[in-house]
Structure 1
Amino acid sequence: MDLSFILQQVVNGFSLGSMYALIAIGYTLVYGVLRLINFAHGDIMMVGAFLAFIFMGLLTGWQFNNITISIFITAVGLSIVLTSFVGVLTYLIAYKPLLDKGAPKISLLITAIGISFFLESLFNVIANQYLGGNYQSFYFPKFFSQILHIGGITVPILTLIVPIMTLLLLGVVLFILYKTKVGIAIRALAFDIHTVKLMGADSNKIIAFVFILGSALAAIGGVSYAMAYPSIDPYMGVLVGLKAFAAAVVGGIGSVTGAVIGGFILGFVEVAIPGFLPELGGWKDAFAFILLIFVLLFKPTGIMGIDFERQRF
């Protein structure tokens, strides 16, 4: 086992972890504001990937042989916008009425699971009736498939772009939370929603923005994941969503930075198991949740765990 092999695993783990991190941020934002685990979030990621595929098909006349970067960026941009709309719609239609009535958290949890099943069934119908099958290959510009040779390791351009993009987006999210008025409102709402309402702030608009931001990041994560494998199906968000949730908890749910750290750790674990211990390769998915249990046993609040009585995000 030489150094180049170890570096290869590190790069691959960093890339996979970035995808989990993008989705995990959405979990932690919603939890920080509403104390709600939005189990439909993994399927929002699936919606983002499917919409990007559909828009690329529409823009190319369903001829995927030569997708240009401009078409790809346009399709992904439209997907982000529409996925954000789907995300905020789930809040306005499904969660807000329950919150307004003061429904117990278990009702919100059951609703989230119901939304998840609905989105999976909806895109299962779309895929089978209009796209020709449940399982679709995901196409993107050949540029992202180009291979770079750096210091004895082979690195697809996509593998480099995704972590860089994730860190940039983390910077954007932190800037929004700490340097903008809407970010201050989000943190205030997370700290004490009742006081914010008494001060006249429109809490619904603030929460809607949180869902928009989280859904946009999930869409980007979904497209990145679809490019990495490269395929999509209506149930792709189930396991990926659970892993991203595990990443958020490992990093410390409620902490945006912790969600990214948890995503990276989970990515490294998932890549390292089959890489260094091939005989355990079939257990790589299980190890993600074994790691979750291990972390919770020793630090129940996660690595960057937050005391919600004192701090938010």
Structure 2
Amino acid sequence: MEFVQQLVNGISLGSIYALLALGYTMVYGIVKLINFAHGDVFMVGAFIGFYSVTVFHFGFFPALLLAMAVCAVFGVLIERIAYKPLRNATRIAALITAIGVSLFIEYGTIYLHGAQPEAYPSNVLPEKNINIFGVTINSQSLLILFTSIVLMIVLQFIVHRTKVGKAMRAVSYDAEAARLMGISVDRTISATFAIGSALAGAAGVIFGIYYTKIDPLMGIIPGLKAFVAAVLGGIGIIPGAMVGGLLLGVIESLVSAMGFSLWRDGAAFIVLILLLIFRPSGLFGKNVREKV
């Protein structure tokens, strides 16, 4: 029974990593860029959710939607200002820029807000324990899991059933051919950043409610773990990011349950090292030769 409880906790945590990993994998799939500022968009979403709840007295879902909307706009601004001018530059230039943008957001937030952490109010989501077949499950974990799954289903619908989604898949497959077919590549890339950033904003609010404490540097470790989750599933593959995130959350929860809670953060990077040694293409990826 303890194992089932840890499994539920792990899936709830993993759903947060999955939402974050989706942003990494979508951007990489289209522009072949690892957006290391993505974890900081997650942090901005957490703060927007916090101020929505404490200042404007919004409920969970209005705060979630506001954070997603603001982070979508923020993601597009980052792409237009920092990445678009480097569209044809070397990959290392874009990567260094991504790290620079990440640091700028972190320390810009510290300058505006201060370095002190904030705590989400405990009454944002009603919390009670539900007993199912002898297993005690937190209602908050279930609601977080449900919200994350709905957002992932909406993303799958957008990618496979809408005009924007078809354009994203076309640009991912061959940007030049897509441009010749009349698809606006720049607009499609902006839409990708908007969707990925909106999911990061949602993950930030969910993380804040789940862990209570937020601070301007909170995006670093979850951002890196989400990157590991994206690589685990196969970078550039959307279902892979979902599975990778959930799997990583379960691994972390089981490591903590076995009494190795100090190794919890390290477990993600051990998984990454083993993956790069034995299956560098990820669980859903294919081995493709790539010129650098």
TM-score normalized by the length of structure 2: 0.94
Q: Report deviation, 1:259.
A: 0.4
Contact 1:72 1:141 in 2 (8 A): no
- Which residue, out of 53, 58, 62, partners 1:56? 53
Residues 217-257 of structure 1 show CA distances to partners (whole Å, capped at 9, x for unaligned) of 11111111111111100000000000000000001111111
Question: What secondary structure sits across from 1:37 in the alignment?
Answer: coil
Going from structure 1 to structure 2, the CA distance change for 1:58 and 1:198 (only over 3 Å counts) comes to same
Contact map agreement 1:28 1:248 (CA 8 A) in 2: yes
Partner of 2:80: 92
Distance 2:135 2:173 in 1: 46
TM-score, normalised by the number of residues in structure 1? 0.88
Cα distance in 2 for partners of 1:36, 1:142 equals: 36
Runs of 4+ aligned residues of structure 1 deviating over 4 Å after TM superposition are 306-309
- Counterpart position of 1:285: 265
Residue aligned with 1:144, SS: coil
Which residue number in structure 2 is paired with residue 80 of structure 1? Answer: 68
2:94 matched to which residue of 1?
Answer: 108
Which residue type is aligned with residue 296 of structure 1? L
Which of the residues 274, 277, 295 maps onto 2:275? Answer: 295
The residue type paired with residue 52 of structure 1 is: G
Give the stretch that moved more between structures: 164-173 or 77-86. Answer: 164-173
Task: Identify the residue that residue 4 of structure 2 maps to in structure 1.
Answer: 7
- Report matched runs for 1:228-239 at 5 Å: 228-239=210-221
Kindly indicate whether the alpha-carbon contact (under 8 Å) linking 2:255 and 2:264 is maintained by their aligned counterparts in 1.
yes
1:261 offset after TM fit, Å? 0.6
**Quick one: which amino acid aligns to residue 7 of structure 1?**
V
Contact 1:12–1:271 (CA<8 Å) still a contact in 2? Answer: yes
Structure 2 letter corresponding to 1:45 = F
Instruction: Rate the CA distance shift 1:126–1:151 in 2: closer, same or farther, 3 A.
Output: farther
1:142 to partner: Cα distance: 5.1
SS in 2 for 1:28: helix
Within 5 Å, give how 1:233-248 maps onto structure 2.
233-248=215-230
Deviates more, 1:27-36 or 1:46-55: 46-55
Identity of paired residues, percent?
42
Sort the Cα spacing of 1:232 and 1:143 in 2 relative to 1 into closer, same or farther, 3 A: closer
Per the alignment, residue 193 of structure 1 pairs with: 175
**1:205 maps to amino acid:** R
Q: Which amino acid is 1:282 matched to?
A: L
Distance, in Å, in 1 between the alignment partners of 2:278 and 2:129 is: 41
Say which of 26, 29, 42 aligns to 2:23. 26
Partner of 2:153: 171
Ranges in structure 2 where 5+ consecutive residues have no aligned partner: none
Q: Is the Cα contact below 8 Å between 2:229 and 2:241 reproduced in 1?
A: yes
Superposed CA deviations along residues 180-233 of structure 1, whole A, max 9, x for unmatched, are: 111111011001111112222211111111001001111111111111111100
* Aligned match of 2:111: 125
Q: Deviations over 1:127-178 (max 9, x none)?
A: 22xxxx5211112535432222222222221211222222222222111111
What letter is aligned with 2:20?
I
The farther-off stretch of 24-33 and 295-304 is 295-304
Q: Match of 2:45, as an amino acid? A: G
Aligned partners of 1:255 and 1:306 also within 8 Å:
no
Residue-pair matches, total = 289
2-side partners of 1:290 and 1:9: how far apart? 20
Rounded Cα–Cα distance in structure 2 between residues aligned with 1:122 and 1:140: 28
What letter is aligned with 2:30? V
Structure 1 residues 251-290: aligned runs within 5 Å: 251-276=233-258, 278=259, 280-290=260-270
Q: Which runs of 5+ in 1 are unaligned?
A: 61-69
Which residue of the partner structure matches residue 210 of structure 1? 192
